[in-house]
Amino acid sequence: MRFDIITIFPGVFNSYLKESLVKKASEKKKIEVKIHDLRKWADDVHKTVDDTPFGGGGGMVMKAEPIHKAVSSLKGKGDKTRVVLFTPRGRRFNQRRATKLTEYNQVIMICGRYEGVDERVAKYIADEELSIGSYVLMGGELPAMVVLETVSRLVPGVVGKESFLQERKRGECFLECPQYTRPENITINGKKRSVPSVLLSGDHRKIAEWRDKKGKIIK
Ligand SMILES: C[S@@+](CC[C@H](N)C(=O)[O-])C[C@H]1O[C@@H](n2cnc3c(N)ncnc32)[C@H](O)[C@@H]1O
């Protein structure tokens, strides 16, 4: 599965792509991630990708033409491609939408900045507008990392745990029960804090019941 991310701040992705599990997944060729500087598709000497809004108002708006050129040149021939534009008013990204995206061979993500993106991108270029939450960020780069990580995790072989693929099939997010590790007892702010005794009981049926009870499913 291939991810193409279009941004005016390509450097933002450097450390993330070099240090995370996403790096391992790329090395194992489970996914391919390419970061593209939108300015490459600007056709003036200043590499302009934004302009003032029609009708007035503060701030700058990202131009549609460089984005159009970028998307057209990145779309793989014959690939099943999904073009995502990040906007705070888009549909809320969740586990189900992440699962849906795994049906494509290529996901092209457009990161907005400034006051947003010329509306013609949402209307005529993107297949869907996604929001990662009801708040306004300064750009689409963090949303792109969120989508990249959530979708990659569902690609077989990336996380390597069969149970994750079950989530993928259900399109829901199974949150596992709370986890504990050694030591059994620790002192926090002067009080002894212990691991639930059922987890130390060795009774596999009881442990499974406890985990079922404590696990949560979010939609
Ligand atoms: C400062 S925001 C633009 C806000 C715009 N004036 C509005 O109210 O829709 C700049 C860019 O950040 C990204 N962005 C901000 N918040 C987001 C969110 N919650 N989900 C997804 N993208 C977001 C979008 O790409 C957006 O174009």
**pLDDT at position 166, please?**
63
**pLDDT at position 79, please?**
80
Q: 120 CA to middle of ligand 1, Å?
A: 16
CB contact at 8 A, 176 and 210 = no
What single-letter DSSP state applies at residue 105?
Answer: S
Residue 167 has pLDDT above 60, yes or no: no
**pLDDT at position 77, please?**
85
The architecture that CATH gives domain 176-218 is Orthogonal Bundle (1.10)
CA–CA distance, 60 with 100 (Å, rounded to integer): 33
2-163 and 176-218 have identical folds: no
Bridge partners, residue 218, by sequence: 173
Band of pLDDT at residue 175, cut at 50, 70 and 90: low
**pLDDT at position 172, please?**
60
So where are the chain's domains? 2-163, 176-218
Tokens of 141: 């780069």
Tokens of 202: 């060795």
**Average pLDDT of the chain, as a whole number:** 93
pLDDT digits (tens, 9 = 90+) for 77-107: 888 999 999 999 999 999 999 999 999 999 9
Q: Calculate mean pLDDT across residues 115-135.
A: 98
Q: 36 CA to middle of ligand 1, Å?
A: 19
**pLDDT at position 177, please?**
84
The domain 2-163 belongs to what CATH superfamily? SPOUT methyltransferase, trefoil knot domain (3.40.1280.10)
**pLDDT at position 9, please?**
98
pTM of the model: 0.92
What single-letter DSSP state applies at residue 44?
Answer: S
Per cent of the chain over pLDDT 90 is 85
Band of pLDDT at residue 174, cut at 50, 70 and 90: low
Burial 43-54 (b: 16+ CB within 10 A, else e): eeeeeebbeeee
The preferred substitution site among 137, 148, 150 for testing ligand 1, maximizing ligand atoms within 8 Å of CB, is 137
pLDDT digits (tens, 9 = 90+) for 12-65: 999 999 998 899 999 999 999 999 999 999 999 999 999 999 999 989 999 999
**Which residues, in sequence order, are CB contacts of 188 under 8 Å at separation 6+?**
none
Q: Quick one: which H or E segment has residue 95?
A: helix 95-101
Answer yes or no: is the C-beta of 106 below 6 A from any ligand 1 atom.
no
